[in-house]
Amino acid sequence: MIRNLLFDLGGVIMDIDKNDCVRAFERLGLANASSYFGDYSQTGPFMLLEEGAISPDEFHAALRADLPDGVSDAQIDAAFCEFLTGIPPYRLQWLRDLRKQKRVYMLSNTNPVMWHSKIAREFEQEGGSLSDYFDGCVTSFEAKALKPEKKIFDYAIRTLGIKPEETLFLDDSESNVQAARALGFQAEVVPPGTEFMDILRANI
């Protein structure tokens, strides 16, 4: 029996566009900006920030070494947040409705720059906050591990107090879904252009 719903954020709840982010960093003067961003993971200081290996200040310093003089922390953060397009209000409604029926959680590869700015604001658009939509959240930067590593799923199981066999995990990455299944989760891919409610209707 499925008691828990465990959601990825980007590409499932939040719309994303890495090309907007790449263009924003190109405008700041970052050479080879596209080389830092993959479809499901980042490289260099972006990855280190996401896995909690460096602080935002260290992230800014690392990037500034490859940027023209005078680029501010705020400009770096704003360019990085261009990765996130936003959350349509109807998905927030779905989350609120689902929470009346199941325990609802989030497990996201993300970073403190986005988490404390654009992500927080998107969940405030109805006047609430993250806690109005989720019973608990686990981020890669606090777990110090990235999906699809086993460590981050173990951290989520322990921190959220969930049992994999009672949990349906939704993610837009096939490798993340396969990793979850290997640990006993029920798990489904949310393909591009598909709403997570379409997947849930077919599975719960």
Q: Work out whether strand 103-108 and strand 15-16 pair parallel, antiparallel, or are unpaired.
A: unpaired
Asked if 8 is an active-site residue, the reply is yes
Quick one: tokens of 177? 């879904």
pLDDT by residue for the chain (204 residues), tens digit each? 999 999 999 999 999 999 999 999 999 999 999 999 987 789 999 999 999 999 999 999 999 999 999 999 999 999 999 999 999 999 999 999 999 999 999 999 999 999 999 999 999 999 999 999 999 999 999 999 999 999 999 999 999 999 999 999 999 999 999 999 999 999 999 999 999 999 999 988
Structural domain spans, the chain: 4-15+88-203, 18-81
CATH (residue range 4-15+88-203): 3.40.50.1000
Which residue out of 8, 39, 57, 97 is catalytically annotated?
8
pTM: 0.96
C-alpha pair distances (Å), 79 with each of 19, 37, 66, 162 = 11, 13, 14, 36
What's the rounded Cα separation, in Å, for the pair 202 and 199? 5
The CATH class, in words, for 18-81 is mainly alpha
